């Protein structure tokens, strides 16, 4: 079996076991929201599983990809656990549960857990494929990737911390967060997510087969920008936050830039 086949098979089986286990746990807890916490952790599992099974790759690149993925995944999983613990099921899954009634458990297996498993497999392609080649050595592209990854991690960590501090102040109830990084982009955490995965993909892209991992970064960016990130969240925010339309008109949706004068 080739290293690429081993990596892809290992990742697929890891995700299958993880998502099936998470689905079963969600049935016991009656809470499908746990899939959001497992999302980040799942990438960590994939990175380590491939690392332990593939020994043909360049150790320095393998270790770097695993480190970058682990730091990002554990931070995201930990943050979401801290933010959501004890708050019950997210409104999105409650709406699905109400809509499907007794059929929700089996429907959620495919539309929630199965779908996220497929997306996890695609997005994690750079972590999988970048570990399968021993050449070339780490070069300038890897260092560019590390720099992009660091920018992304900064936007995620600082953006989440600023938002948490803003929400903790009761005086800000119902107000729009437009300070700090949120002054320059309406979603610094999503922009950071995208940068993290472009950074990981660039590290992997130094190898021939690793270039296909760029697909993962593209898919993650589309998800964040057009599907489950910006678009979905802003439908809710525009209804709940007074002055949000003005904030939208003034502030970039994704890529940071100085706010417009209106």
Residues 6+ apart with CB under 8 A from 251: 178, 182, 183, 184, 185, 186, 259, 260
Two tokens at 248?
A: 């939208």
- What is the per-residue pLDDT for 29? 94
Number of C-beta neighbours around residue 256 at 10 A: 17
C-alpha 189/C-alpha 186 separation (Å) is 9
In tens digits, the chain (262 residues) has pLDDT values of 699 999 999 999 999 999 999 999 999 999 999 999 999 999 999 999 999 999 989 999 999 999 999 999 999 999 999 998 888 898 889 999 999 999 999 999 999 999 999 999 999 999 999 999 998 999 999 999 999 999 999 999 999 999 999 989 998 887 888 899 999 999 999 999 999 999 999 999 999 999 999 999 999 999 998 887 666 666 666 666 677 778 888 999 899 999 987 6
Q: Is the distance from CB of 202 to CB of 148 less than 8 angstroms?
A: yes
Residue 194 CB coordination number (10 Å): 24
The confidence score (pLDDT) of residue 72 equals 98
Helices of type H across the chain: 3-29, 34-53, 59-84, 91-100, 104-108, 115-123, 125-129, 140-168, 188-204, 214-222, 230-240, 244-250
* CA-based nearest residue to 185, from 236, 235, 234: 234
b/e burial code for range 15-43 (CB count within 10 A of at least 16 → b): beebbeebbeebeeeebbbbbbbbbbbbb
- Could you tell me the pTM of the whole model? 0.93
Cα separation of 236 and 243, whole Å? Answer: 13
My answer on whether omega of the bond before 177 falls inside 30° of 0, hence cis, is: no
pLDDT at residue 232, as a whole number: 64
pLDDT of 226 reads: 83
> DSSP letter at 10?
H
pLDDT of residue 132: 96
**Predicted local confidence at residue 115, as pLDDT:** 96
Tokens of 93: 């899954």
- Name the DSSP class of 206: T
């Amino acid at each position: 079996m080739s290293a690429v086949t081993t990596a892809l098979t290992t990742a697929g089986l890891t995700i299958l076991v993880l998502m099936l286990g998470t689905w079963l746990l969600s049935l016991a807890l009656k809470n499908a929201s746990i899939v959001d916490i497992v999302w980040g952790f799942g990438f960590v599992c994939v990175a380590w599983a491939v690392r332990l099974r593939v020994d043909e790759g360049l150790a320095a690149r393998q270790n770097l990809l695993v480190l970058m993925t682990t730091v990002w995944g554990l931070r995201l999983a930990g943050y979401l656990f801290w933010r959501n613990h004890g708050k019950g099921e997210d409104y999105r899954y409650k709406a699905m549960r109400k809509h499907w009634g007794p059929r929700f458990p089996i429907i959620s297996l495919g539309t929630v857990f199965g779908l996220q498993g497929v997306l996890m497999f695609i997005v994690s392609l750079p972590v999988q494929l970048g570990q399968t080649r021993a050449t070339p050595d780490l070069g300038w592209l890897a260092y560019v990737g590390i720099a992009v990854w660091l920018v992304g991690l900064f936007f995620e960590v600082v953006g989440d911390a600023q938002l948490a501090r803003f929400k903790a102040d009761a005086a800000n109830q119902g107000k729009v967060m437009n300070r700090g990084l949120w002054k320059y982009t309406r979603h610094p955490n999503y922009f950071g997510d995208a940068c993290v995965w472009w950074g990981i993909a660039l590290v992997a892209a130094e190898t021939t087969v690793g270039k296909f991992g760029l697909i993962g970064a593209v898919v993650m960016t589309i998800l964040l920008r057009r599907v489950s990130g910006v678009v979905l969240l802003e439908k809710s925010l525009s209804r709940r936050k007074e002055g949000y339309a003005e904030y939208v008109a003034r502030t970039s949706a994704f890529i940071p830039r100085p706010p417009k004068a209106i």
